[in-house]
Amino acid sequence: MKIAVLGATGRTGRLLVARALERGHDVIALARRPEQADISGNLRVVRADVADPGSVAAAVEGADVVLSGLGITKTQDPAILVDGAREIASAAPRVIWLTSLGMGATQGALGTLTGALLERVLRYEWDAKGEAGRVVRDVGGTTVHAGPLTDKSYRGNGNLLRAEEYEPRLFPPLAPRAGIADLMVAEAETPRFPDADTVAVFLRQTY
């Protein structure tokens, strides 16, 4: 299938690209600066910047599904998250969107104390993340809520759960980025959670 990756130069995005290629898909990697992208493999790297209206829609044209690893820094306008969600939601037939556990549809999943702490730390993007998730769900997409991301190797011990089945715990489950990539590509191949908010859970992942 043809898979487009938004945020393809990011730490998770690169792994989404690598995993999709490994699985034999036709990959379009979206990058703000393709000439600096340093992404290799049998793929198309296309210039796309959420802040440049139309560039994202043009880049994902023809894709069967868009996987998003879009993320912002504190110095960026959080509207980029909502605009990015809107742009791919209107241009692609399917969207699988990575976001944070405890925000949007999973607000409350971290318990009162950890939830309040996370909201304080991530205040700059809190509302935008919630809104971006809603935009994705409004078009029947899938959100993947993850706990703290790590660069540890993935041992095949992950799963997506419906958000309503996730049982809040004191410490959010760590999520290896490689595992997130594996689960998102698997969801693209075989939709188990269309039109659903999900949580990525990894067993026996240690801090």
Of 45, 70, 95, 118, the one binding ligand NAP by CB under 6 A:
70
Nearest CB to ligand NAP, comparing residues 24 and 143: 143
Residue 107 CB, nearest approach to ligand NAP (Å): 14
Q: Is 148 a binder of ligand NAP (CB under 6 A)?
A: yes
Of 96, 146, 188, 196, the one binding ligand NAP by CB under 6 A:
146
Residue 56 CB, nearest approach to ligand NAP (Å): 7
Write the DSSP symbol of residue 62. Answer: T
Region binding ligand NAP by CB under 6 A among candidate stretches 20-28, 68-76, 108-116, 188-196: 68-76
Write the DSSP symbol of residue 106. Answer: G
Residue 181 CB, nearest approach to ligand NAP (Å): 10
Q: Is 80 a binder of ligand NAP (CB under 6 A)?
A: yes
Nearest CB to ligand NAP, comparing residues 94 and 177: 177
Q: Is 11 a binder of ligand NAP (CB under 6 A)?
A: yes
Nearest CB to ligand NAP, comparing residues 65 and 82: 82
Three-class HEC string of the chain: CEEEEECCCCHHHHHHHHHHHHCCCEEEEEECCHHHCCCCCCEEEEECCCCCCCHHHHHCCCCCEEEECCCCCCCCCCHHHHHHHHHHHHHCCCEEEEEECCCHHHCCCCHHHHHHHHHHHCHHHHHHHHHHHHHHHHCCCEEEEECCEECCCCCCCEEEEEHHHCCCCCCCCCEEHHHHHHHHHHHHHCCCCCCEEEEEEECCCCC
Per CB under 6 A, residues contacting ligand NAP are: 7, 9-13, 32, 49-51, 69-72, 76, 80, 98-100, 146, 148-149
